[in-house]
Chains A and B, each alone.
Chain A
Amino acid sequence: MIRKVRSHQTQNEPLLFERSSPGKKGYQLPPLDVPSVAPAEALGVANVRREIEGFPEVSEVEIIRHFTRLSTWNYAIDLGLYPLGSCTMKYNPRLNEFVARIEGLAQAHPYQPEELAQGAMRVQVQLEQYLRETTGMDEVTLQPAAGAHGEQTGILLIRAYLEAQGDARRKVLIPDSAHGTNPATAAIAGYEVEEIKSNDQGMIDLEALERAVDDSVAALMVTNPNTVGIFEKDIAKVAEILHERGAQLYMDGANMNALVGIARPGDFGVDVMHLNLHKTFSTPHGGGGPGAGPVAVKKHLAPHLPVPRIEESNGTLRYCYDRELSIGRVRAYFGNFGVLVRALAYILAHGGDGLRNATIDAVLNANYIRKGIGDRYELPYTAPSMHECVFSDDRQARSGVRTGDIAKRLIDYGFHPYTVSFPLIVRGALMIEPTETESKQELDLFIDALRSIADEVESDPELVRSAPHTTRTKRVDETRAARRPVLHWKAPVEEKQAAD
């Protein structure tokens, strides 16, 4: 039974082009009080824009309604559970927004003299300190604008460090369960990528790793917990294998929501890592964020961090550019400052115990879902789940229903789909991450929806295969859209001919 409100997805909306009728205007100008001039005569024909064919002509109220209605189409964390695995779509507390709007922070300017920016600089210093404490690392840069940017910064730091030792090395190792951004990062930083297969428990195969690590390996990039939602329990051993051969351990912090307040990457051998403030520390996510991907390093990498670094003497903060071994700036100014403010507000509002509780609840919620649907969906890796659980569509595939179909049907039940077909090491993956902010009631609704869909797969597979049924737009042909994309509107031909 469908029990969620879905009013936000039922009324369709034509394009403004289709609403247009000739002569309508959304504005009114006062009468001219100077002589009228023909633009082409005054500026020359070449400088005047031609009439745009089919440009929509609509009234003010039509424009307002069009965009207001469109604005209600969004699915957002403020409407309900957003179970996109690996993305950590957690609720953004309103307190963060309040703090980010405090005048001295909201109106701060990057060119403000240092003596007038001490408060804004203190925000950065304090956030760096808390992130060091959370990760167990020695120094932090707040500059990178998002996760992949953090990865790139991290790998460039490793490269600079190894170069300073005399050899940048050639390869970066990446497990087959990794986020796609990891190999892209390594390649952009000039490294060859070598894949490490996972073992039958979904973890790094230590023997395969040992075979692969030699003097040509610069680093291993690992996500922990990994993308199957499993903690790499041999991570300290992994670090040891790498360090013995002078290679570095990079940790993708995408899944830090499972670790904050419980375990610290700095304590299990990580040399450099990034954090996604827009995941773990509740800053806005999606719709362009913007994100923030601070990078935390151990001491030996610190001399290479981007400039400026903030230094303090006699209680006064100043930006220091004098770092000979720095890789240089990775972003203009000081990172996405508004996002940093929100993350600090979140950390201070929670305190150490609160952050730890959030982690425990995130893991509890994921395991509640795992237990709630575990008898209906195939669980390929049975090691304990952390903050997310990954199922396979194996059972449903026997009735010809795949993970993408189940996700579409979930829309009919009023939920945003889970992450589909990732990680690639799971056939037909359903990757579910509820985060800590969901109530038992919301989780139960979600579990009921997935159980009900599993029933439908058995009783009426076509219903699921042809979903969604309750949306404005029914199933779209994704393949055709990707193969032959139509990127702009064209006037319908037959109408034009009729008018001629």
Chain B
Amino acid sequence: MYPNEFRYTREHEWVSIDGDTATVGITDHAQDQLGDVVFVELPQLGVRTQSMQSFGTVESVKAVSDVYSPLTGQVTEVNETLVDAPEKLNESPHGDGWLIKLQIEDRTEIETLMTAEAYQAYIDAEKES
């Protein structure tokens, strides 16, 4: 379910690392909890996100939620296609539904994130509580 090459946050974002570029999105569990996403608010290009600070919002039929950046870095790309097709977040949260790309500043932050296995255990525990 959760790709092994990704890293995960406790706020249910994933990050995929390719060289100095990090791609960020929300997890399948997050989209399932939110329900049908109707609107996505993304940052401007060039904005610097801080690790675990909100960089945008996702609005579903149920609620508006902040999305947190797994890493610190400058936003180099945002997924413009989500403006007209927010349903991609539900249909392909780990693929076409990605949110932003970042220029990684501090690689040590990656170590603080969860592996796929740890994330799976984290949401299993959450479900039981």
List the interface of chain A (C-beta within 8 A of B): 180, 200, 420-422, 424, 427, 478-479, 482-483
Query: Which residues of B from 38 to 63 have beta carbons under 8 Å from A?
Result: 38-39, 61-63
Closest 8 CB pairs of A and B: A482-B38, A479-B36, A421-B62, A483-B38, A478-B61, A479-B61, A424-B63, A482-B61
- Residue of B with least CB distance to A482: B38
Rounded to whole Å, the gap between the CB of B16 and the closest CB of chain A is 27
Which residues of A are found within 8 Å of B77, using beta-carbon distances?
none
Which residues of A are found within 8 Å of B39, using beta-carbon distances?
482-483
- Residue of A with least CB distance to B127: A427
Please tell me if the beta carbons of B63 and A479 are within 8 angstroms of each other in the complex: no
* CB contact under 8 A between A200 and B62, given known A479-B36, A479-B38, A483-B87: no
B64 interface hit (Cβ, 8 Å): yes
Which residues of A are found within 8 Å of B86, using beta-carbon distances?
483
* CB contact under 8 A between A200 and B36, given known A478-B61, A483-B86: no
B129 interface hit (Cβ, 8 Å): yes
Rounded to whole Å, the gap between the CB of A406 and the closest CB of chain B is 14
CA distance A482 to B60 in the complex (A): 9
Which residues of B are found within 8 Å of A427, using beta-carbon distances?
33
Rounded to whole Å, the gap between the CB of B56 and the closest CB of chain A is 15
* CB contact under 8 A between A180 and B38, given known A200-B129, A483-B87: no
Which residues of B are found within 8 Å of A180, using beta-carbon distances?
64
Which residues of A are found within 8 Å of B33, using beta-carbon distances?
427
CA distance A421 to B61 in the complex (A): 10
Given A200-B129, A479-B61, output 12 extra A-B contacts at Cβ < 8 Å: A180-B64, A420-B62, A421-B62, A421-B63, A422-B63, A478-B36, A479-B36, A479-B38, A482-B36, A482-B38, A483-B39, A483-B87
CA distance A479 to B63 in the complex (A): 12
Which residues of B are found within 8 Å of A478, using beta-carbon distances?
36, 61
- 19 contacts across the A-B interface (CB closer than 8 A): A180-B64, A200-B129, A420-B62, A421-B62, A421-B63, A422-B63, A424-B63, A427-B33, A478-B36, A478-B61, A479-B36, A479-B61, A482-B36, A482-B39, A482-B61, A483-B38, A483-B39, A483-B86, A483-B87
- Residue of B with least CB distance to A180: B64
CA distance A200 to B64 in the complex (A): 23
Which residues of A are found within 8 Å of B87, using beta-carbon distances?
483
Rounded to whole Å, the gap between the CB of A260 and the closest CB of chain B is 30
Interface centre among B39, B61, B86, B87 (most CB of A within 10 A): B61
Interface centre among A420, A422, A424, A482 (most CB of B within 10 A): A482
- Residue of B with least CB distance to A380: B129
CA distance A482 to B33 in the complex (A): 18
CA distance A479 to B60 in the complex (A): 8
Interface centre among B38, B63, B87 (most CB of A within 10 A): B38
Rounded to whole Å, the gap between the CB of B52 and the closest CB of chain A is 12
